[in-house]
Structure 1
Amino acid sequence: MVADNRSAVRKVLIITLLLNLFVMTLKAVLGSWTGSLSLLADALHSVTDSANNILGLIASRFSSPQPDRDHPYGHQKFEGVGALGIAAFLGIACFEILQGAIERILSGGGKPVIISPSELWLLLIVLGVNIFVTFYERHVGQQVGSPILIADAQHTMSDVWVTIAVLGGLIGVWQGQVLNLPQLQWLDIILSFPVALLVFRSGWNVIKDNLPWLVDEMAIAPEAIHGIVIQVPGVINCHEIASRGIVGRQVFIEMHLIVDVTDVETAHQITEEVENRLKERFSPVRILIHIEPPAYQSDQITYEAESKSR
């Protein structure tokens, strides 16, 4: 049975929510003071960080791994749905950043950005908080096997790169003020585009990591399962092997097993040994085995693709 680590997940999400609210507020205030488009876009990105934490808390509330009458396979896909919600927030942030940058270009650059060294130091503090949140969430997420924490850490890592890009641009703008080079004002707008690409990439990675689980894509190659099962004494063959889930998080395996016995008790002992070996290799895993007599023959290890002639 897979462990229920939701309390640990909620604790991390609450801590990171408070930190992200602090970061978001500081970026928004600095963006308003300086008139920086890239910094305001970065603040928008931090809004999604906080929204993702809230979404994660909601998803974690309903994502119990334990089965019940209405959800006999558990509730863990709620976390996958929550991760896709994070990807949606990232897409919105990407669109807002690009829209703001294009509007600024069409208006001829807009109002000049005014930045001071003290404000740059405050951005360094923001960067440090983002880096802490990223590694903290990733560490706990990998430790407890939580996709929502890992996805949110990936999102926050994109925020780290965004803040680095924004900080670099604002340093250039500040130097433009010092050296009387107004052309460096365009750095704030130009850097908005790679910021948007970084945000989009993070969203795509979240989708790529969670969609296979939600659509029940194969979790383990049937040949790998077959190779383990066939080594159990008393097993003649196994076929119609199917698996879904994510190894290390939760896997479901089904198969038809041909055994070299005719009595139920011995067949049961063989299936228990098969289950034990698969659990040693792929735990946590739930296994369903259909027993067939020695005379049954099948060389079809797994399900074949549907005929293309249809």
Structure 2
Amino acid sequence: MAIDNRSTVRRVLVITLLLNLFVMGLKGAVGFWTGSLSLLADAIHSFTDSANNVLGLVTSQLSSPQPDRDHPYGHQKYEAIGALGIAAFLGIACFTILEGAVERLLTGGAEVQIAAPELGLLLLVLGINIFVAFYERRVGRRIGSPILLADAQHTMSDIWVTITVLTGLLGIWIFGIQWLDVVLAFPVALLVFRSAWNVLRDNLPWLVDEMAIAPEAIHAVVMQVPGVLNCHSIASRGLLGRQVFVDMHLIVNAADVETAHAITEAVEARLEQHYHPVRVTIHVEPPSYEKEEISYEPQP
């Protein structure tokens, strides 16, 4: 049976939403005070953090792992859709940062005015971002939540963005190197794009029903169950640690339905022990259907 961790996900997202709103406000205010393009870009990035939290709250509410009549395989893919929404927000932020940086290079702009109090506020922002990222990642790994892990990845990028911006502002404050503010806006955009790519890479396999567990690994587990003679046509999909669906054809050493059923129950229990949570569908066949092929042929 799938585990419903939605209440934990919602609690974490509410906490991080409040912290991200505070961070966004600080960055935006300091950005306007100082006239820093890179810091305003960082504030835009933080705005997407807050939007992602809201998106996560909505998708978490919809992503019940329990099946119903209209969704017999559960609703977990809503979380993956939410994670793709995070990637879309990151893409928008990346474009906005690049657009502002190019415009500043072409048209110029007012000098950045930075002082110690503003740098102190940015250090506070950095500390909050570090706490949020590690908090979300720890809880996300513990309960296997794609939306929390994706949001933690986004916040990790925000940490590096803030460090990059701080570096530029320190250069302006100490050495008066004004061009650092515009130049460092470009690596900020690259960091944002990298986060978007990582989120896409981690969640697309879940949406396109990519293999969750190697069929050879499932075959090795199943063949250890007493009474199993042959196992073939193995397929799996889902997200390991969150919910996996396994289908297979099985040949058992049984002379009656009751014995065959007992063997298939043992197979399901063994797979649940190895790959919890997992839902297994088994098609029992006669010995004449025995095959050497464990799974399907790779696509040419």
TM-score normalised by structure 2 residue count? 0.98
Matched, 1:303 2:263: no
8 A contact 1:134–1:156 mirrored in 2:
yes
User: What SS is found at the alignment partner of 1:240?
Assistant: strand
* Residues 71-90 of structure 1 mapped to structure 2, 5 A cutoff: 71-90=71-90
C-alpha distance in 1 between matches for 2:11 and 2:240:
25
Match of 2:197 in 1: 204
Once the two structures are superposed, what CA deviation does each residue of 1:110-140 show, in whole Å capped at 9, x if it has no partner?
1110001111001000111111111111111
Q: 1:111 is matched with which residue?
A: 110
Segments of 5+ residues of structure 1 without an aligned counterpart are: 178-183
SS of 1:261's equivalent in the other structure is: coil
Asked if 1:233 corresponds to 2:199, the answer is no
Query: Residues 152-231 of structure 1: matches in 2 within 5 Å?
Result: 152-177=151-176, 184-231=177-224
Give the deviation of 1:253 after TM superposition. 0.3
Normalised TM-score (structure 1): 0.95
Offset from partner CA, 1:63-112 (integer Å, 9 cap, x none): 000111111110000000000000000001011111111110011x3111
2:281 counterpart (264, 274, 288): 288
Amino acid of the residue matched to residue 140 of structure 1? Answer: V
- Alpha carbons 1:261, 1:293 under 8 Å: kept: no
CA–CA distance in structure 2, aligned partners of residues 63 and 163 of structure 1? 32
How far apart, in 2, do the equivalents of 1:295 and 1:187 lie? 74
Shift of 1:234: 1.5
Q: Supply the AA of the counterpart residue of 1:227.
A: A
| Secondary structure of the corresponding residue to residue 299 of structure 1 | coil
Identify the residue that residue 8 of structure 2 maps to in structure 1.
8
Q: Percent identity?
A: 71
Identify the residue that residue 96 of structure 2 maps to in structure 1. 96
Q: How many residues align?
A: 300
Give, as a single letter, the amino acid of the residue that structure 2 aligns with 1:53: N
Amino acid in the other structure paired with 1:224: A
SS of 1:74's equivalent in the other structure is coil
